[in-house]
Amino acid sequence: MRPTVILLLSSFTAHALGAPYIISDTVAGPTFFDFFDFQAIPDPTHGRVNYVDQATAMAQNLTFAGHTSSIIRADFKTVLDPNGPGRNSVRIRSKKTYTTHVAVFDVRHMPQGCGTWPAIWETKESVWPNGGEIDIVEGVNDQSPNAATLHTNEGCTMPAYRDQTGTSGQNDCNWLVNFNTGCGVKFPTTNSYGPPFNGNGGGWYVLGYAVERAPTYIKVFFWPRDSRFVPHEVTHGGIIIDTDNWGTPIAFFPDTSCDMAQHFSEHNIIINLTFCGDWAGNVYDQSGCPGTCVDFVNNNPSAFANAYFDFSSIRVYRYAFRSTIITEGLT
Ligand SMILES: *[C@@H]1O[C@H](CO)[C@@H](O)[C@H](O)[C@H]1NC(C)=O
Ligand SMILES: *[C@@H]1O[C@H](CO)[C@@H](O)[C@H](O)[C@H]1NC(C)=O
């Protein structure tokens, strides 16, 4: 009967706070990968990658779930046949979907190396671009800082000035504008991505996705590992969290000129690591990396020894109206 106690407790706290979210899923430890499906699919972004299934990933130790650390990596041992498939890697997608929720990613290390293109993101692939896409962590070829980006169908734009610490790029989120650039916000510090992120012990990325209640918005927060400002409920994996208490986000996507409920649906959480392809390949020349991207990926397996994610945990919280909580608590 413990769940009942927790629910009643949270309804009490819900009363005291503004807009709390309650823990739904704690993804950590040996069962980390139970939360996901492995997607052994062709890369939609044309990368030099071969996404493997779960059995292969486990056999090759590309995925490994320990007690304090869950690893997702690419192969770093094999020289590739230039006419054969790309470098073995992993793409996983949450079995569950979420509408209004908060996702807290405690990341200790992210893939680094020339040609790498890692991402932590959300979308509903079967209806894309309807339903929207949110890139929480994404970058290529070790180029810091991180950027958070929305991609939508037509009719969703962001105001030029808004309450965030990051720097906006394009403000039209429409995927048809500028080859699906999306509306992105660059993070203010280099320790938000790649080698500087890893050198600093990682950090916490948090997505606040409030798309079906008023006010609707999308927010992305980030705290580096050594931050003095990271909320206690984030570091300690609280049962209840409230993004309203965390101050100015790094990226703020308000509903001023974007009907969130219309442009954003339920989402899966997706984690992928590809190489080269439409983005990392196209800008490879400008990133100070040697040779050409595909040759580099084919011929230098040891350059990918650090091409791995290490998650301490992922926690997903759902929004619950106070009345809902009480109803659940009593039944
Ligand atoms: C990986 O993630 C990005 C999201 O940032 C997405 O655009 C891309 O299609 C994904 N690549 C693969 C291979 O799934
Ligand atoms: C698999 O990977 C984990 C995490 O990197 C590592 O601790 C472990 O020793 C590896 N196992 C083998 C058999 O290589």
The Cα–Cα gap between 11 and 7 comes to 6
Look up 133 and say whether it is catalytic. Answer: yes
The Cα–Cα gap between 167 and 7 comes to 39
The Cα–Cα gap between 41 and 39 comes to 5
Q: What is the pLDDT of residue 322?
A: 46
The mean per-residue pLDDT over the stretch 276-282 comes to 90
Cα-to-chain-centroid distance, residue 236: 20
More confident residue, 28 or 2: 28
Ligand 2 pocket (Cβ < 6 Å) reads 61, 64, 71
Closest ligand 2 atom to 69 CA: 4
44 — pLDDT class (breaks 50, 70, 90): confident
Q: Phi and psi at residue 320, in whole multiples of 5°?
A: -140, 130
pLDDT reading at 248 higher than 60: yes
Alpha-carbon torsion (237, 238, 240, 241), positive or negative = negative
Q: What is the pLDDT of residue 328?
A: 44
Q: What is the pLDDT of residue 164?
A: 98
Mean of all residue pLDDT scores within the chain: 91
Residue of the CA atom closest to atom 14 of ligand 2 = 61
Look up 138 and say whether it is catalytic. Answer: yes
Q: What is the pLDDT of residue 321?
A: 60
Q: Scan for tokens 């130790």, then name that residue.
A: 61
The Cα–Cα gap between 49 and 304 comes to 13
Closest ligand 2 atom to 61 CA: 1
Mutational test site, ligand 2, from 64, 71, 77, 310, max ligand atoms within 8 Å of CB: 64
Alpha carbon of 64 to ligand 2 centroid (Å)? 7
Which domains does the chain carry? 2-330 (2.60.120.200)
The mean per-residue pLDDT over the stretch 72-76 comes to 98
Each residue of 201-243: pLDDT tens digit? 999 999 999 988 778 999 999 999 999 999 999 999 999 999 9
Mutational test site, ligand 2, from 32, 58, 61, max ligand atoms within 8 Å of CB: 61
* 322: three-class secondary structure by DSSP: helix
Q: What is the pLDDT of residue 45?
A: 86
The Cα–Cα gap between 304 and 297 comes to 8
Each residue of 46-73: pLDDT tens digit? 999 999 999 999 999 999 999 999 999 9
pLDDT reading at 10 higher than 60: no
* 134: three-class secondary structure by DSSP: strand
Residue of the CA atom closest to atom 12 of ligand 1 = 43
14 — pLDDT class (breaks 50, 70, 90): very low
Nearest to 73 by CA among 41, 42, 111: 111
